[in-house]
């Protein structure tokens, strides 16, 4: 079954922010990273089950899957015949808090 791809506005904003951040010092690297991330969406569309389960990794109740495009992590879900790309976050960040899957430490 061929999956369709759905990219959320938040994921597009994440990539724009990543690109802007990298471009401050390395404009060519910024474009390359954005292309790698968008290419990973095509890979996930063609092979949606290659990602890892957040539920299995962290033991939390969620249907998010993830795929690493180092140092960033693509968070996605399988929804009917869609691969829904929800966020692209820095793997060094507290991404579980950003995704609303755990509370921020006080």
The residue count of the chain comes to 106
Select from 62, 82, 63, 86 the least CA-distant residue to 74. Answer: 86
Map residue 61 onto helix, strand or coil.
coil
Q: What does each of the 106 residues of the chain score in pLDDT, given as a tens digit?
A: 789 999 999 999 999 999 999 999 999 999 999 999 999 999 999 999 999 999 999 989 999 999 999 999 999 999 999 999 999 999 999 999 999 888 877 6
Which residues are registered as beta bridge partners of 89?
73
Map residue 74 onto helix, strand or coil.
strand
What is the pTM (predicted TM-score) of this model?
Answer: 0.93
Select from 65, 74, 70 the least CA-distant residue to 14. Answer: 74
* Structure tokens belonging to residue 68: 């690493």
Residue 76 is inside which H or E element, if any?
Answer: strand 72-79
Kindly give the pairing relationship between strand 82-90 and strand 65-69.
Answer: unpaired
What residue ranges define each of the domains in the chain, with the CATH number in brackets?
4-98 (3.30.2310.20)
């Amino acid at each position: 079954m061929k999956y369709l791809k759905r990219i959320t506005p938040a994921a597009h904003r994440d990539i724009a922010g990543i690109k802007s951040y990298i471009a401050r010092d390395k404009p060519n690297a910024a474009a390359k990273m954005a292309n790698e991330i968008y290419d990973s969406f095509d890979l996930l569309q063609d092979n949606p089950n290659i990602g890892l389960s957040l539920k299995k990794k962290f033991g939390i109740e969620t249907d998010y899957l993830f795929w690493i495009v180092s140092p960033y992590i693509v968070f996605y879900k399988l929804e009917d015949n869609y691969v829904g790309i929800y966020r692209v976050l820095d793997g060094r960040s507290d991404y579980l808090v950003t995704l609303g899957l755990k509370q921020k430490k006080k």
